[in-house]
Amino acid sequence: MTAYRLTADEHGKTHLEEWDLFAWPFENGPGEFKGVGGAVMGDASRVMLMRFEVGAHPGFHRAVPSFAVVVAGELVITDSAGVEAVLQVGDAIRVETTGRGGWRLGNRGEHEALLALVQMPPAKAEPPGPPSSEARD
């Protein structure tokens, strides 16, 4: 599974970067749940399921702070500089920008695509630090 992060600089230009989901600090459970960890990725305010028909490739639009996972098909995401990433089933993206023209999503595949998108409040979260040795024990 691949994950990406979409951020914006002080001029509103968006940038895509690969993101290691395992770098988040995971809290491990007690007893039989030892080794099963959870990470809070943000406070959800809305959940959407977006369907992209074959050939759909709308123009750039406002990105909202969110976390999204492709649940069917394949999508192409483009940032404001034209950098693209192909998201396949199970791939994810965390969006940390609210600017106009922040991103463009499209379906170049042969089948419809579904994206599960969880909107977050606009407060920007700090990127995760490296996992502590405690979290891995």
**On the CB side of 87, how many CA atoms lie within 13 Å of its CA?**
30
pLDDT, block means (10 residues), the chain with 137 residues: 86 88 77 72 83 88 87 93 94 84 88 91 60 47
For residue 65, tell me if it sits in a domain: yes
Do 87 and 78 meet the contact criterion of CB atoms below 8 Å apart?
A: no
Q: Which two tokens stand for residue 106?
A: 């499209």
For residue 82, tell me if it sits in a domain: yes
**pLDDT score, position 61:** 79
For residue 51, tell me if it sits in a domain: yes
For residue 70, tell me if it sits in a domain: yes
**pLDDT score, position 58:** 84
**pLDDT score, position 73:** 95
Q: Report the number of distinct structural domains present in the chain.
A: 1
For residue 119, tell me if it sits in a domain: yes
136: which DSSP letter? H
**pLDDT score, position 106:** 92
pTM for this prediction: 0.72
